[in-house]
Structure 1
Amino acid sequence: MDLPVERGEGSMVLVGRVVKPHGVRGELVVDVRTDEPEDRFAVGRVLRGRMPKAPKGSPDQNYTVTAARQHAGRLLLSLAEVVGREGADAVRGLLLLVDTADLTPSDDPDEFYDHELEGVPVRLVGGDDVGVVTEVLHLPGGDVLSIKTADGRDVLVPFVTEMVPTVSTELIEIDPPDGLLDDA
């Protein structure tokens, strides 16, 4: 699913990050952060771009997809506003975003956008309250729920069925192994 990124009035979701230039014509290697790359990076699609260390309140820039293709297991993307190797180098690290208002709701009741799970209460399968989801992290080893506990601690719970058997936009139930939620 797409990753949430907040700024300003609207809510944005991260769909990709520019890793580096590819070649001399301005193509970009993109680290895809969406389950729907064929839709998010379709020719003609306008994406919002934000540099990761831009000052808060800095305006996002629009980028129009002119080409997208797979190469050696990675997405290569061409954007109308990025010309040549120097232009591609200048946008290294650029976050590619879409507005949550532009997202089509999923037909699958067991599929959620990450931003839909943020703020959802978490409790143990036995009924004890744990806290709320603050973020869904997509790490190389798998997806992880970041949960802010009632006592203010941050805990990470692997987002796997064995530990997170019940997921909805109203409540998430977890069944962590002994010690996972203990004070560090």
Structure 2
Amino acid sequence: MQLVVARIGRAHGIKGEVTVEVRTDEPEVRLGPGAVLATDPPGTGPLTIESGRVHSGRLLLRFAGVGDRTGAEALRNTLLIAEVDPEELPDDPEEFYDHQLMDLDVVTEDGVEVGRITEISHLPSQDLFIVERPDGSEVMVPFVAEIVAEIDLEEQRAVITPPPGLIDDRAVIASARDVEQEGAGDEAPDGGGHGAPGRAGEAR
């Protein structure tokens, strides 16, 4: 199974380094020296990581064969994709890969059907479930402990305790595109965080 682990940002310096937006909880494993990653667009890769370091809180990577700023800039916005065993599970039992969460049924604690998870949106402040409701509309559910009470992979369901207005007639209904545009403005009322009981990630 192929999962996105990072997105390449701008070039850093003149020796081929790039900043990356990390999309994995295990960058030391997925983005370590020697890792060979597929890319989107495919023609950019595969890319082999030559070295990595943290600078001002951001991960910088250098790839084999990319030795100057021009080559680094040409990689901007490329997605880095790792091959992951679909049976592999995170070390922390309260963390989840995206593919584990996709298509889970979402219900409230009293058994009311909300819908089905069709997408995980990773925002800087928190993760969001994009839930398709039976009528075809979509609702955004912050993946935080105050709202997501339980992830039951055996029963293939996520149990939520939604605050007033989240899933009723006053709920904020949006498409996945709206989520990306609105960003952190859709935070949970309490400010949230990368949620417990677990966290979603595109790969770990």
Superposition TM-score tier, normalisation by shorter sequence: 0.7 to 0.9
* 4+ aligned runs moved over 3 Å, structure 1: none
Change (3 A) 1:59 1:182: farther
3-state SS in 2 of match to 1:29:
strand
Deviations 1:98-146 (A, max 9, x none): 1232784224322111121011111111101111111221212211111
Gaps of 5+ in 1: 1-10, 52-57
Identity of aligned residues (%): 42
Deviations 1:14-33 (A, max 9, x none): 11111100111111111111
Deviation at 1:158, TM superposition (A): 1.0
Worse-superposed segment, 166-175 or 71-80: 166-175
- Output the CA distance in 1 between the equivalents of 2:65 and 2:101: 34
3-state SS in 2 of match to 1:65:
strand
Alignment check: 8 A CA contact 2:44 2:78 kept: no
Alignment check: 8 A CA contact 2:7 2:20 kept: yes
Matched, 1:177 2:163: yes
| Equivalent pairs, count | 168
User: Counterpart in 2 of 1:142?
Assistant: 126
3-state SS in 2 of match to 1:87:
helix
- Output the CA distance in 2 between the equivalents of 1:131 and 1:161: 19
Matched, 1:166 2:150: yes
User: Counterpart in 2 of 1:43?
Assistant: 33
Gaps of 5+ in 2: 174-204
User: Counterpart in 1 of 2:59?
Assistant: 75
User: Counterpart in 1 of 2:177?
Assistant: none
Worse-superposed segment, 65-74 or 162-171: 162-171
Change (3 A) 1:150 1:60: farther
Give 1:15-164 correspondences, 5 Å limit.
15-51=5-41, 61-101=45-85, 104-164=88-148
Worse-superposed segment, 58-67 or 148-157: 58-67
The one-letter amino acid paired with 1:116 is: Q
The one-letter amino acid paired with 2:157 is: L
- Output the CA distance in 2 between the equivalents of 1:61 and 1:67: 17
The one-letter amino acid paired with 2:121 is: L
- Output the CA distance in 2 between the equivalents of 1:13 and 1:98: 6
- Output the CA distance in 2 between the equivalents of 1:12 and 1:147: 23
3-state SS in 2 of match to 1:182:
coil
The one-letter amino acid paired with 2:71 is: G
Please identify which structure carries the higher strand content.
1
TM-score by length of 2: 0.76
- Output the CA distance in 1 between the equivalents of 2:164 and 2:48: 49
The one-letter amino acid paired with 1:151 is: D
3-state SS in 2 of match to 1:101:
coil
The one-letter amino acid paired with 2:24 is: T
The one-letter amino acid paired with 2:5 is: V
Worse-superposed segment, 101-110 or 119-128: 101-110
TM-score by length of 1: 0.84
- Output the CA distance in 1 between the equivalents of 2:79 and 2:87: 17
3-state SS in 1 of match to 2:77:
coil
